[in-house]
Structure 1
């Protein structure tokens, strides 16, 4: 599983994923790729179905790379819990991952929706109201991390996998189910913080990968979620009240 994760990170690092509108973004618009909403702004500038499809693929690969470490324990247990041959276990795991990956790829619609409804898109609103947007995203993420709903989802993610004989269709269905719960579990971290600080910011990507991985380690994942929630809440309040200089670049 870690080898598969290395492939996703390598594809991102080498730029071997679709980057619709990147030439316009970096030359005509002079917006750094790591800026908040840069990818979405480039896609909307191109404005074609192919651009949206390319963005969806890139988003999917990015989320697979960031979620794979967090899913390593679960996928190993899922394969080990299979009551059948090694070939059957591999088939069940592959089917599970197809469903799981499909959910994360489909989650690209969330930042695209933000881009469509926010005035000026993600980039425009974050540049205009930087401290309000970043501070608000951190506060909302902190509150989300503290919700009982979030912690109940986390308990499901960390649950022991029971013995099974999942076939292809059942494996895909389990992957879809688990993927939806993972998206909801990580909603604040990925769809509030990451989207508004810039998805292609490597430092944030690594840091958030660490957070979602550690909080899925039983038996103290819930305590980690509460701790990161309090940190996020405090950081958001500091940004809102004191408006410090933030490490965000909006122009080249």
Structure 2
């Protein structure tokens, strides 16, 4: 299916068409930012006292997924808002539901990514017990995860996925589906490209403390910069340098990493029981 022919849009120039659509769909963008703000507030309340540093326990599946989905809304809605606005501008019917379904499909893909992360963590725990404990392999795995994430920033796959995120018009034109079901499908597909772009950054969040609001904000900021900064190479190389520096510090001098909770150090690392 092709997008509506009557919608006049400029040639695909990266993020320019999406930012132009933001000015036309300010109400929709405001709704997404309000939802993100509510997500941040709820996440801060829910995760208070639960930061146990690298490889923090994830609790029960239901509890983790609920927190994860709200986290993703808080972290991702601001950076995906221009794409949603552009999608809304391109639809034939000015239905307020379709762009929200697009955002819901996007969030659904991230929920699936969270489910996979939970399953992998449970598998490792079952197979190797407390191997990810800080005083065992946890510190080394955390540092290695950050270094691998830095390397991924410079790979062709990262470049391709980020390109889809930074060229919303090209993505929408190439994957258009009509109707509400189509909105959900397109949102999910866009979410898949975003997961391909950001999975290493999310792995870094687990390595630094998935229940840390500070590191959650840092990762969200890095994602927004990569997706919106005009100087694409500066953003990706800067992110790679940051992740590499953090990885080296975690391996050699974890106490020098700001806001990093070192499990078992000076009584920090004790956490409130999760549901």
Shorter-chain TM-score: which interval? Answer: 0.7 to 0.9
Query: Does structure 2 retain, via aligned residues, the 8 Å contact 1:60–1:106?
Result: no
Give the superposition deviation at 1:116: 1.9
- Asked if residue 175 in structure 1 is aligned to residue 175 in structure 2, the reply is no
- Asked if residue 203 in structure 1 is aligned to residue 214 in structure 2, the reply is yes
Q: Structure 1 length normalisation: TM-score?
A: 0.79
- Asked if residue 8 in structure 1 is aligned to residue 39 in structure 2, the reply is yes
Query: Does structure 1 retain, via aligned residues, the 8 Å contact 2:51–2:211?
Result: yes
Structure 1 residues 127, 197: closer, same or farther in 2, change over 3 A? farther
* Pick aligned residue for 1:157 from 136, 140, 165: 165
Structure 1 residues 116, 159: closer, same or farther in 2, change over 3 A? same
Query: Does structure 2 retain, via aligned residues, the 8 Å contact 1:64–1:104?
Result: no
Q: Structure 2 length normalisation: TM-score?
A: 0.73
* Pick aligned residue for 1:67 from 68, 76, 81: 76
CA distance in 2, matches of 1:177, 1:201: 29
- Asked if residue 139 in structure 1 is aligned to residue 151 in structure 2, the reply is no
The one-character-per-residue Cα deviations of 1:100-127 (angstroms, maximum 9, x if unpaired) are 11111121223313322332357x4344
Structure 1 residues 169, 34: closer, same or farther in 2, change over 3 A? same
CA distance in 1, matches of 2:187, 2:73: 13
Structure 1 residues 177, 196: closer, same or farther in 2, change over 3 A? same
1:101 matched residue in structure 2: 107
Query: Does structure 1 retain, via aligned residues, the 8 Å contact 2:143–2:207?
Result: no
1:80 matched residue in structure 2: 89
- Asked if residue 224 in structure 1 is aligned to residue 235 in structure 2, the reply is yes
Query: Does structure 1 retain, via aligned residues, the 8 Å contact 2:39–2:73?
Result: yes
Query: Does structure 1 retain, via aligned residues, the 8 Å contact 2:254–2:262?
Result: no
2:201 matched residue in structure 1: 189
SS in 2 for 1:38: coil
Give the superposition deviation at 1:188: 0.6
Query: Does structure 2 retain, via aligned residues, the 8 Å contact 1:99–1:175?
Result: yes
Query: Does structure 2 retain, via aligned residues, the 8 Å contact 1:63–1:104?
Result: yes
The one-character-per-residue Cα deviations of 1:179-216 (angstroms, maximum 9, x if unpaired) are 111111101100x2111221110110111110001100
- Asked if residue 115 in structure 1 is aligned to residue 126 in structure 2, the reply is no
- Asked if residue 33 in structure 1 is aligned to residue 25 in structure 2, the reply is no
Please report the RMSD computed on the Cα atoms of aligned residues, expressed in angstroms. Answer: 2.4
CA distance in 1, matches of 2:56, 2:142: 15
How many residues are treated as equivalent by the alignment? 223
1:212 matched residue in structure 2: 223
